[in-house]
Chain A
Amino acid sequence: MTTKLFGTRVQRVEDQRFLRGQGRYVDDIDAGPHTLHAAVLRSPHAHAKVLEVHVDDVLDLEGVHAVWTYEDLADLSAPMADPLPLLIPHPTLTHARTQYALANGEVNYVGEAIAFVVADDRYVAEDAVGRIRVDYEVLPPVVGIEAARSATALVHEDVPGNVGARMEQSNGDAPAAIAGAPHVLTLDLTVERSACQPMEGRGTVARWDRDIDRLTVWSSTQTSTGVRAAIAVKLGLDLGQVDVVTPDVGGGFGVKINHPWPEELLVPLAARLLGRPVKFVEDRREHFISSAHERGQVHHVEVGFDDDGRLLGLDVEFWHDHGAYTPYGLIVPIITSTQLLGPYKPGAYRVRFESLFTNTVMVTPYRGAGRPQGCFVMERTMDAIAAYLGKDRADVRALNFIQPDEFPYDQGLIFQDGRALEYDSGDYPASLEKLKALVGWEEFPAFKAEMAAQGRQVGIGLACYVEGTGVGPYEGAHVHIETTGKVKVATGLTTQGQGHATVFAQIAADVLGVPLADVQVVTGDTRRMPYAVGTFASRAAVMSGSAIHLAATRAREKVLRIAADALEASEDDLEITDGVVSVKGAPASSIALGTIAVLSNPLRYAFDEQSKMATQFSVGDPGKPPVAEDDEPGLEGKDFYSPERATFASGMHAVIVETDPLTAEIKILKYAVVHDCGHLINPMIVEGQIHGGVAQGVGGALYERMAYDESGQLLNASFMDFLMPYVTEVPTSIDIDHLETPSPLNPLGIKGAGEAGVIPSAAVFAAAISDAEGFSITSMPISPSELFALRRLHQEEPS
Chain B
Amino acid sequence: MSEELHHVRLHVNGVAHDVAVPPRRLLSDALRHELGLTGTHVGCEHGVCGACTVLVDGRPMRSCLMFAVSAVDCEITTVEGLTNADDSLGPVQQAFLECHGLQCGFCTPGFMTTITAGLEENPSPTEDEARDMIAGNLCRCTGYQNIVKSVLRAAELRDAETTRAQP
- Please indicate the chain B residues that have their CB under 8 angstroms from the CB of A62 in the complex: 1-2
B38 near A21 with CB under 8 A, answer: yes
- Please indicate the chain B residues that have their CB under 8 angstroms from the CB of A684 in the complex: 100
Assembled-state Cα–Cα distance A62/B2 (Å): 7
- Please indicate the chain A residues that have their CB under 8 angstroms from the CB of B67 in the complex: none
Please tell me which one of the listed residues A14, A21, A696 contacts residue B78 in the complex, with CB atoms under 8 A apart: A21
A6 interface residue (CB < 8 Å to B): no
Please tell me which one of the listed residues B82, B98, B104, B142 contacts residue A198 in the complex, with CB atoms under 8 A apart: B104
Q: Which of B68-76, B117-125, B145-153 contacts A (4 or more CB under 8 A)?
A: B145-153
- Please indicate the chain A residues that have their CB under 8 angstroms from the CB of B80 in the complex: 20-22
Given A200-B43, A727-B134: A498 and B103 within 8 A (CB)? yes
A730 interface residue (CB < 8 Å to B): yes
Given A692-B103, A724-B138: A199 and B96 within 8 A (CB)? no
Contact with B along A714-734 (1 / 0, CB 8 A): 000011100010111010111
B96 near A123 with CB under 8 A, answer: no
B144 near A19 with CB under 8 A, answer: no
B100 near A733 with CB under 8 A, answer: no
A444 to chain B, nearest CB (A): 24
Please tell me which one of the listed residues A24, A30, A200 contacts residue B104 in the complex, with CB atoms under 8 A apart: A200
A199 near B139 with CB under 8 A, answer: yes
Contact with B along A753-769 (1 / 0, CB 8 A): 00001000000000000
A112 interface residue (CB < 8 Å to B): no
A691 near B46 with CB under 8 A, answer: no
A21 near B2 with CB under 8 A, answer: no
A692 near B140 with CB under 8 A, answer: yes
- Please indicate the chain A residues that have their CB under 8 angstroms from the CB of B40 in the complex: 21
Assembled-state Cα–Cα distance A197/B141 (Å): 10
Please tell me which one of the listed residues A19, A25, A696, A727 contacts residue B96 in the complex, with CB atoms under 8 A apart: A19
Please tell me which one of the listed residues A22, A199, A685 contacts residue B43 in the complex, with CB atoms under 8 A apart: A199
Please tell me which one of the listed residues B139, B141, B145 contacts residue A734 in the complex, with CB atoms under 8 A apart: B145
Given A497-B104, A719-B48, A724-B138: A250 and B41 within 8 A (CB)? yes
Please tell me which one of the listed residues A20, A27, A724 contacts residue B140 in the complex, with CB atoms under 8 A apart: A724
A284 near B46 with CB under 8 A, answer: yes
- Please indicate the chain B residues that have their CB under 8 angstroms from the CB of A734 in the complex: 143, 145
B22 to chain A, nearest CB (A): 7
Assembled-state Cα–Cα distance A127/B103 (Å): 36
B103 near A727 with CB under 8 A, answer: no
A96 to chain B, nearest CB (A): 30
Task: Count CB-based A-B contacts (< 8 Å).
Answer: 170
- Please indicate the chain A residues that have their CB under 8 angstroms from the CB of B78 in the complex: 21
Assembled-state Cα–Cα distance A250/B144 (Å): 16
- Please indicate the chain B residues that have their CB under 8 angstroms from the CB of A757 in the complex: 143
Assembled-state Cα–Cα distance A27/B82 (Å): 22
Assembled-state Cα–Cα distance A684/B100 (Å): 7
Assembled-state Cα–Cα distance A690/B98 (Å): 18
Contact with B along A691-724 (1 / 0, CB 8 A): 1111110000000000000000000001110001
Q: Which of B108-123 contact A (CB under 8 A)?
A: 108-109, 112
B24 interface residue (CB < 8 Å to A): yes
Assembled-state Cα–Cα distance A331/B101 (Å): 33
Chain B residue nearest to A722 (CB atoms) is B48
B131 interface residue (CB < 8 Å to A): yes
Q: Which of A660-676 contact B (CB under 8 A)?
A: none
Contact with A along B22-55 (1 / 0, CB 8 A): 1011000000100011111111111011010000
Given A22-B39, A718-B46: A250 and B104 within 8 A (CB)? yes
B46 near A20 with CB under 8 A, answer: no
A784 interface residue (CB < 8 Å to B): no
B42 near A27 with CB under 8 A, answer: yes
Name which of A25, A199, A253, A734 has the most chain B CB atoms within 10 A of its CB: A199
A695 near B143 with CB under 8 A, answer: yes
Chain A residue nearest to B92 (CB atoms) is A19
B96 near A691 with CB under 8 A, answer: no
A355 interface residue (CB < 8 Å to B): no
A126 to chain B, nearest CB (A): 11
B161 to chain A, nearest CB (A): 17
B109 near A21 with CB under 8 A, answer: yes
- Please indicate the chain A residues that have their CB under 8 angstroms from the CB of B82 in the complex: 21
Given A19-B89, A726-B136: A497 and B108 within 8 A (CB)? no
A284 near B103 with CB under 8 A, answer: no
B140 near A496 with CB under 8 A, answer: no
B157 to chain A, nearest CB (A): 13
B10 interface residue (CB < 8 Å to A): no
A23 near B105 with CB under 8 A, answer: yes
Given A20-B79, A248-B105: A718 and B48 within 8 A (CB)? yes
A42 to chain B, nearest CB (A): 16
Chain A residue nearest to B45 (CB atoms) is A283
B126 interface residue (CB < 8 Å to A): no
A485 to chain B, nearest CB (A): 26
A719 near B22 with CB under 8 A, answer: no
Please tell me which one of the listed residues B89, B102, B140, B145 contacts residue A696 in the complex, with CB atoms under 8 A apart: B140
B79 near A21 with CB under 8 A, answer: yes
A499 interface residue (CB < 8 Å to B): yes
Chain A residue nearest to B131 (CB atoms) is A727
Given A251-B140, A719-B44, A726-B136: A11 and B97 within 8 A (CB)? yes
Chain B residue nearest to A281 (CB atoms) is B42
Assembled-state Cα–Cα distance A732/B132 (Å): 12
A15 interface residue (CB < 8 Å to B): yes
Assembled-state Cα–Cα distance A89/B40 (Å): 41
A25 near B41 with CB under 8 A, answer: yes
- Please indicate the chain B residues that have their CB under 8 angstroms from the CB of A688 in the complex: 100, 103, 141-142, 146
Chain A residue nearest to B148 (CB atoms) is A727
A691 near B45 with CB under 8 A, answer: no
Q: Which of A123-137 contact B (CB under 8 A)?
A: 123, 127
A249 interface residue (CB < 8 Å to B): yes
A123 near B138 with CB under 8 A, answer: no
A726 near B135 with CB under 8 A, answer: yes
A775 interface residue (CB < 8 Å to B): no
Given A497-B103, A684-B100: A197 and B140 within 8 A (CB)? yes
B38 near A251 with CB under 8 A, answer: no
- Please indicate the chain B residues that have their CB under 8 angstroms from the CB of A251 in the complex: 103-104, 106, 140-141
A487 to chain B, nearest CB (A): 23
A28 interface residue (CB < 8 Å to B): yes
A61 interface residue (CB < 8 Å to B): yes
Contact with B along A732-751 (1 / 0, CB 8 A): 11100000000000000000
Chain A residue nearest to B108 (CB atoms) is A18
Assembled-state Cα–Cα distance A506/B121 (Å): 40
Please tell me which one of the listed residues B24, B43, B100, B135 contacts residue A727 in the complex, with CB atoms under 8 A apart: B135
Given A696-B140, A718-B48, A730-B144: A61 and B1 within 8 A (CB)? yes
Please tell me which one of the listed residues B38, B49, B96, B100 contacts residue A719 in the complex, with CB atoms under 8 A apart: B49
B93 interface residue (CB < 8 Å to A): yes
A391 to chain B, nearest CB (A): 33
B148 to chain A, nearest CB (A): 7
A49 interface residue (CB < 8 Å to B): no
A12 interface residue (CB < 8 Å to B): yes
Assembled-state Cα–Cα distance A724/B127 (Å): 22
- Please indicate the chain A residues that have their CB under 8 angstroms from the CB of B136 in the complex: 726
A691 near B145 with CB under 8 A, answer: yes
- Please indicate the chain A residues that have their CB under 8 angstroms from the CB of B143 in the complex: 691-696, 730, 734, 757
Name which of B78, B102, B137 has the most chain A CB atoms within 10 A of its CB: B102
A577 to chain B, nearest CB (A): 27
B114 to chain A, nearest CB (A): 11
Assembled-state Cα–Cα distance A28/B109 (Å): 14
Assembled-state Cα–Cα distance A200/B42 (Å): 8
- Please indicate the chain A residues that have their CB under 8 angstroms from the CB of B141 in the complex: 199, 251, 497, 688, 692
- A and B contact pairs by CB, cutoff 8 A, 11 listed: A12-B97, A21-B109, A25-B38, A27-B42, A196-B140, A249-B104, A250-B105, A250-B107, A693-B143, A696-B140, A730-B145
Additional 10 contacts, C-beta under 8 A, given A22-B39, A62-B1, A696-B140: A21-B37, A25-B106, A62-B2, A250-B105, A684-B100, A692-B142, A695-B143, A726-B136, A734-B143, A757-B143
- Sorted nearest first, the 3 A-B pairs with minimum C-beta distance are A21-B39, A497-B104, A250-B106
